[in-house]
Chains A and B, each alone.
Chain A
Amino acid sequence: MSEEANYALPQSDPESAPYWEGIQQGELRIQRCAACQRHVFYPRTLCPYCHSDQLAWVSASGRGTIYSYTVVHRAFGPFAAEAPFIIAIVELEEGVRLMTRLIDAPRERVRIGAAVQVSFEQVSGRPPLPFFRLAE
C-alpha cells in the first residue's frame, strides 16, 4: 500500500525506550513500584499511586482479560483501509490496563472478560506492536 509512509510512528523517548526495545525482542515490559508493590503502565518517573521513584522494569506475563472493546468501522488516515478492526482495553494479570488491537478474533467470540494473550505483530510494514489474541 502506498499509504504506508503516512503512518505516524510512536516516538520512543528516554523513558519509554526500554518498553519499545522489549517489544522488538518479543517481551512486554511494564514497571513495578518497589514501595507500594503495584505495577505501573505506561512508564513513569514517579509511581502514580504512592509517588515513590522506586520503579523498576519487569517482564509482564502477557496474559489478561478484555476490560472493554469496540469494533472500529470508520478510522482516520492510513488506518481507514484497515477497518473494521477491534480495539480493546486489556487488563493484564499484573493489574494494569493498556490499549491494544485484537487480532484473529472473530467478532462473535469477543466479549468483555474474555481471556487474551499478547502477540507481537507487524501490520502494514510498521514496527511490531503488542496486539492481543483470544486465549480460549
Chain B
Amino acid sequence: MSRVFAPRSPRAAIVGVAESDLGYTPHRTVLQLQAQAARAALEDAGFSFDEVDALFCAGNWSWSPTLTLAEYLGLRPRYSDSTNIGGSSFEAHIEHAVAAIEAGLIEVALIVYGSTQRSDRSRGRVSPTYRLTEQFEGPFGLPTPVGAYALAAMRHMHQFGTTSEQLAEVAVATRKWAMLNEKAMMRDPITIEDVLTSRWIAEPLHLLDCCLVTDGGGAVVLASAQRARQARKPPVWVLGHGEAHTHATIANMPDLAVHQAAIASGQTAFAMAGLRPEEIDVVEIYDSFTITVIMTLEALGFCPLGEGGAFVSGQRTAPGGPFPMNTNGGGLSYCHPGMYGIFLLIEATRQLRGECGPRQVSGARLALAHGTGGVLSSAATVLLGKD
C-alpha cells in the first residue's frame, strides 16, 4: 500500500524535466546540450528563464561550471551550487535546492547536466601525472571506474556468494525496459548467457555488466510549493532526501562489499519522508555497473545485506515483474553520459506523472531516485510523490 502524504507537507516539487539530444552528438558542444535541456525542462514546467533564481550543475568541462553555464544561458543566479560528488551530484543538488527553498533564499532552481564524453574520446587525451591521493593508485593501471567496481563485485561474491548470473539478471531486465523506450541506445534483447559470454572488462565484470558511454544532457526544474502550484503540470513533491560520502579512492572504501554511503543517504531520506522501502512503487537506481544496483538495493533496505543477488533473480525487476526498476533502460541500456544521476530524476518524475507510455508503471504514486558517485564513494537518495 502506498502512502501519499509525508508526515510534514513537502516544501518543494519537481515541475519540469527534459533530456537533450542523447547518444553520439559530435555536432554539439557540452554547452549546447545543456541549453537544449534547460529550455526544454523550463517549457515542461511552463516557466521562463527569467524565473530561475538558482543554478545547479556539475561537470569537469569547466573550472566553474555554474559560472560558465550561467553566462552562456544569460542567467544571473543569486544562488549557485556546482557540488560534484560524481554521478549522484544531481540528487544532492535536489537536497541542496530544497534546503535553499526552505531557507527562503530561492524559489525556482534549475539543475542542469551535459557531457560530450563519447565524442571527446576520439579527440585523444594527454597523460596526466598522478597527483595528491591519486599517486598511490594511478601508477598500477586500474581502469577507473570499472576496475574499482570489479574489486567491489569480487569482494561481494566472496563475502555473500553473489554469482555472475545474478549480476547478469540486472542487465537483462534493464534491457527489457530499454526495449520499451524509444530514446534508449540499446534495444536488442539480451539473455543471461549473452551477458556471461560477453568479453571480460575487469573480472568479474563482463562488457554487458557495464554502463554505456554516450553523450547527452538533462535538466530538472525544482520550485517552492507555492510556485509549483503555478506550473503547467501537477507537482512531483520531494518527500525526502539524503546524501553521504565515505571515501574517494577504492582502497579506502571502508568495506568493499557494503555501500555504506547509500545506507546513510537512504536512512535519512526514508526517515524524512516517513516511508518504508516496501511502500515505493517504482525505483530508479544508478546502474553504472550491475554490481552497483545489487549493493544499492541492499543498502537502501529493499533486501538484507548480501541478498541483493537473490532479490534481482528471476527477472523480478523486469517489465511486468513485482519490482519495477530502472524503467527507462538505465545507464546500462538507455544512455550514460558520464554522470547519470539527472536521468534518474527525469524518469522518476515522468513515471509519477504517468507520461511513460508502454513502460509506464501503472498507478505509480511514490518513486525513489538514487544516485551513486565516484567509486561507490558517494550516494544521494531522493523520494518523490504525487498528490
Q: Give residues in A with beta carbon < 8 Å to B.
A: 6-13, 16, 41-42, 67-79, 82, 84-85, 87, 89, 97-101, 112, 126, 129
Q: Are B132 and A99 in contact (CB under 8 A)?
A: no
Q: How large, as a class, is the contact surface on chain B? A: 35 or more
Query: Smallest distance from the beta carbon of A5 to chain B beta carbons, Å?
Result: 9
Q: Give residues in B with beta carbon < 8 Å to A.
A: 125, 127-143, 147, 150-152, 154-155, 158, 199-205, 249-252, 256
Q: Are A99 and B137 in contact (CB under 8 A)?
A: yes
- Of all chain A residues, which has the CB nearest B210? A74
CA gap between A73 and B139 in the complex, in Å: 17
Q: Are B251 and A97 in contact (CB under 8 A)?
A: yes
8 closest Cβ pairs, A-B complex: A79-B141, A10-B135, A70-B150, A71-B203, A73-B200, A68-B155, A8-B127, A11-B129
CA gap between A13 and B32 in the complex, in Å: 39
Q: Give chain A residues whose Cβ lies under 8 Å from the Cβ of B137.
A: 99
Which of the residues A87, A89, A98 comes within 8 Å of B141, measured between beta carbons?
Answer: A87
Q: Are B132 and A89 in contact (CB under 8 A)?
A: no
Query: Smallest distance from the beta carbon of A77 to chain B beta carbons, Å?
Result: 6
Which of the residues A6, A13, A41, A72 comes within 8 Å of B142, measured between beta carbons?
Answer: A72
The secondary structure that dominates the A interface is mixed
Query: Smallest distance from the beta carbon of A4 to chain B beta carbons, Å?
Result: 11
CA gap between A5 and B174 in the complex, in Å: 42
CA gap between A80 and B50 in the complex, in Å: 49
Which of the residues A8, A42, A70, A129 comes within 8 Å of B133, measured between beta carbons?
Answer: A42
Q: Are A89 and B151 in contact (CB under 8 A)?
A: yes
CA gap between A124 and B28 in the complex, in Å: 39
Q: Are A9 and B201 in contact (CB under 8 A)?
A: no
Given contacts A10-B136, A12-B135, A97-B251, 14 further A-B contacts (CB under 8 A): A8-B139, A10-B135, A42-B136, A70-B142, A72-B142, A73-B202, A73-B203, A74-B143, A74-B201, A74-B202, A85-B141, A87-B140, A89-B251, A99-B142
Query: Smallest distance from the beta carbon of A87 to chain B beta carbons, Å?
Result: 5
CA gap between A99 and B134 in the complex, in Å: 11
Interface centre among A11, A71, A99 (most CB of B within 10 A): A99
Q: What are 10 A-B residue pairs whose CB atoms fall within 8 Å in the complex?
A: A8-B138, A70-B150, A70-B205, A73-B199, A76-B143, A87-B142, A87-B202, A99-B249, A99-B251, A112-B155
Which of the residues B130, B143, B199, B204 comes within 8 Å of A8, measured between beta carbons?
Answer: B130
Query: Smallest distance from the beta carbon of B245 to chain A beta carbons, Å?
Result: 14
Q: Are A67 and B256 in contact (CB under 8 A)?
A: yes
Q: Are B130 and A112 in contact (CB under 8 A)?
A: no
- Of all chain A residues, which has the CB nearest B130? A10
Which of the residues B131, B143, B250, B256 comes within 8 Å of A11, measured between beta carbons?
Answer: B131
- Of all chain B residues, which has the CB nearest A74? B201
Query: Smallest distance from the beta carbon of A45 to chain B beta carbons, Å?
Result: 13
Query: Smallest distance from the beta carbon of A39 to chain B beta carbons, Å?
Result: 14
CA gap between A5 and B202 in the complex, in Å: 25
- Of all chain A residues, which has the CB nearest B129? A11
CA gap between A67 and B133 in the complex, in Å: 20
Query: Smallest distance from the beta carbon of A55 to chain B beta carbons, Å?
Result: 16
Query: Smallest distance from the beta carbon of B145 to chain A beta carbons, Å?
Result: 11
Q: Are A13 and B132 in contact (CB under 8 A)?
A: yes
CA gap between A107 and B342 in the complex, in Å: 40
- Of all chain B residues, which has the CB nearest A98? B251
CA gap between A87 and B200 in the complex, in Å: 15
Whether A101 contacts B251 in the complex (CB less than 8 A), given A71-B203, A73-B200, A74-B201, comes out as no
